[in-house]
Amino acid sequence: MLAPMQGLTNRALRAYFIEHVRPDVIFTEFMRVNTAPAGAGLTAADLRDVAAEQDGVPLVVQLVGHEREALVLAARVAQGVGAAHINLNMGCPYGRMGGGQTGGGMLRCPDNLAEVIPALREVVNGSFSVKIRAGYDDPEQILSLLPLFESSGVDFLVLHPRTVIQKYEGIADHEVTARVVRSTRLPVIANGDIRNAAAGGRLLGETCAAGLMLGRGAISDPSLFLRLRGLMNSETGREERRTELGRYLREMLVRYGQLFCGDTQVLKKVKEIVAYLDDPELAKPLKELRRAKTVRAFEAALNGFC
């Protein structure tokens, strides 16, 4: 699965992944649920991104919120315009998401989940899943929530085994993933620190997870999907890596030019991809890309990149 990453996995980037590596499942960026009484739960921009699939690949619509009625309304609205798969974000650790009551912050008020999870399951006609951290500040909190997820009829879990307060510090403790897999009948998708094919293969073997969700590792190397499937070499040489990244960034410049308005926004979005590229052997050309002030300068830096 391609992970939902706010600001990154927009429909243009998803289309690139579908065309080149075809993930088994893709997710929207999270859609923030409006709790205003007069609101329909989702914005017009959100609704334009809602569908059952994108180019033949199942598309999961991810909602982030905390209030039962608002989430139920948002799920109904999303399904009304074509969503077939709904996911609840219970893992985002940033800002209002992790520090308030939404995203990872939902884990601060576990009693509320007994109302929210069954209510969403009742109105979602297709698949209903949860993407979750191991806990808010206790990495074993997830174990206490498994009976609720099972009794409510959740279809599968995506587990990132850090706590919310950890954000992305330290390492993802996939011993927790293995314990969760052993403790539930629900399929568990492992997420977190899957940066290369060796790590992904080892994780599947050690945890018996039902699958993998690739986030930062995939943004850095889209071919990670093919490497995990054994369709490409598990590692690449320096020059091959330069060529792959050059093609990737050039194509995303074109795709972003078609999706976003103006060079300033296009440059901002493509630099959000570059921020995830940390190859030590390519530090100098990557620095030139990050320093580019215009799309033209970025393209010139790419000319020296590959």
pLDDT at 97: 52
Which one-letter DSSP state was computed for residue 292? -
pLDDT at 101: 86
Superfamily of domain 11-228: Aldolase class I (3.20.20.70)
pLDDT at 78: 96
| Both tokens assigned to 23 | 């993930």
Enumerate residues 6+ apart whose C-beta is below 8 A from 302. 246, 249, 250, 289
CA 253/CA 270 separation, integer angstroms: 7
Whether 131 contacts 160, CB under 8 Å:
yes
Burial class from Cβ neighbours inside 10 Å (0-12, 13-18, 19+) for residue 92 reads buried
pLDDT at 37: 55
CA 17/CA 11 separation, integer angstroms: 10
CA 137/CA 134 separation, integer angstroms: 9
pLDDT at 36: 57
Domain limits of the chain? 11-228, 238-303
Written as one string, the DSSP assignment of 198-243 is HHHHHHHHHH--SEEEBSHHHHH-TTHHHHHTTSS-SS--HHHHHH
pLDDT at 238: 81
Cβ atoms within 10 Å of 140's Cβ, excluding its own? 12
Apex CA 199: angle with CA 281 and CA 147, to 5°? Answer: 140
Going from the C-alpha of 46 to that of each of 55, 63, 247, the distances in angstroms are 18, 10, 29
Enumerate residues 6+ apart whose C-beta is below 8 A from 204. 190, 211, 212
Q: Helix, strand, or coil here: 89?
A: strand
Enumerate residues 6+ apart whose C-beta is below 8 A from 147. none
- pLDDT tens for the 306 residues of the chain, in order: 999 999 999 999 999 999 999 999 999 999 999 775 555 578 888 999 999 999 999 999 999 999 999 999 999 999 999 999 999 999 998 755 555 789 999 999 999 999 999 999 999 999 999 999 999 999 999 999 999 999 999 999 999 999 999 999 999 999 999 999 999 999 999 999 999 999 999 999 999 999 999 999 999 999 999 999 999 988 888 888 889 999 999 999 999 999 999 999 999 999 999 999 988 888 999 999 999 999 999 999 998 766
Whether 87 contacts 137, CB under 8 Å:
no
